[in-house]
Structure 1
Amino acid sequence: MLKIKKELLEKIKSQAEKDYPYETCGIMIGKEEDGIRVVYELLAVENANKERKNDRYEINPKDYMKAERYADEKGLQIVGIYHSHPDHPDMASKTDEERAFEYLSYIIVSVQKGKAVSFRSFELLDKKMVEEKVIVET
């Protein structure tokens, strides 16, 4: 289960619209509280996939390491990754599933014709992406 403030979710959607028609991506920083991943901050990162930015995202390992250090300095951790699916549904793809890590949440935003229309969050359980409940705090 994932908990995120509405303002942070709106930032993800806004970034996804801004980066359309390419996939956007970023890292969610927070901590686990009573079995729930709670997002405190977002770190937007550049999509490092140069060949297929319209249907693939890639986070540069240096950006991921910077995020880990940043989170550690604040007593937090990486709790998830977000990205968009331009002109595709907010479902985890086979590629998303193959590249996912357990113990992280994955928000996927569907952006249709430049407008963020929906989102879902997934987690990897037994090598399968499974939709998880999202609590949006106001």
Structure 2
Amino acid sequence: MGIVISELQLNIIYDHAENIYPEECCGIILGAIDQFGKSAVEVIPTVNAWVKPELVDDLSIVEEINRTKHSRYTIAPEDIFRAQKRGRDLQLEVIGFFHSHPDYPAIPSTCDRDRAWEIYSYPIVSVIQGKVSDLKSWVLDNKGVFQPEQIQID
């Protein structure tokens, strides 16, 4: 299985990644899933809503204190709800979430893995010095390990 995405949809992702650089961009992919894989129908760029944690009572987020939008992203819940509603209206579903890695390879980080779910595609765009350099898509397997996902450009 893989993900089918159009040239136009890729250009939307690339433009968003370059325009948001040096911060991570992010967005939602609506489409359909069948026995052959996932087909993207609409790409929805979103605002990176990452906010640095204020208080640290939980040792698991100590590392997050020094993070910025350059190395973290969050999609606001209201953006996800809006995309889910649009998907229902169009008889589509959320099939993935994309984001960029400024000045870093298009490989998932530990944070990416910790936030991932098996059913979604996770395209990552590497943006080097403001220009898209690479795109790779990933899926989480049932053991919690990211596996490369084939991208077919339609």
TM class by shorter-chain length? over 0.9
- How far apart are residue 34 of structure 1 and its match? 2.8
Q: How many residues align?
A: 137
Task: Give aligned-pair identity as a percent.
Answer: 34
Q: What amino acid maps onto 2:105 in structure 1?
A: P
User: Which residue does the alignment assign to 1:69?
Assistant: 85
1:3 maps to amino acid: V
Distance 2:11 2:89 in 1: 26
Cα deviation, residue 67, structure 1: 0.7
- What's the counterpart of residue 61 of structure 2? none
- For 1:3, the equivalent position in structure 2 comes to 4
CA-to-partner distance for each residue in 1:39-77, whole Å, 9 max, x for gaps?
000111100003310000101111111111110111000
Find the aligned partners of 1:110 and 1:76 in 2 and give their Cα distance.
28
Residue 94 of structure 1 corresponds to: 110
| Partner Cα distance (2:6, 2:120) in 1 | 17
Q: State the Cα RMSD in Å.
A: 0.8
AA at the equivalent of 1:56: R
Deviations 1:81-125 (A, max 9, x none): 000000000001110000001110000000000000100000010
Matched, 1:119 2:135: yes
The higher radius of gyration belongs to: 2
CA shift for structure 1 position 10: 1.3
TM-score by length of 2: 0.86
Q: Given residue 145 of structure 2, which amino acid in structure 1 is its aligned partner?
A: K
TM-score (norm 1): 0.96
Distance 2:115 2:51 in 1: 17
Gaps of 5+ in 1: none
| Matched position secondary structure for 2:10 | helix
**What does residue 53 of structure 1 align with?**
69
**Whole-Å separation in 2 of the counterparts to 1:21 and 1:88:** 11
Q: 1 or 2, which has the higher strand percentage?
A: 1
Alpha-carbon displacement from aligned partner over 1:19-40 (angstroms, at most 9, x marks no partner): 0000000000000133311000
Partner residue, 1:105? 121
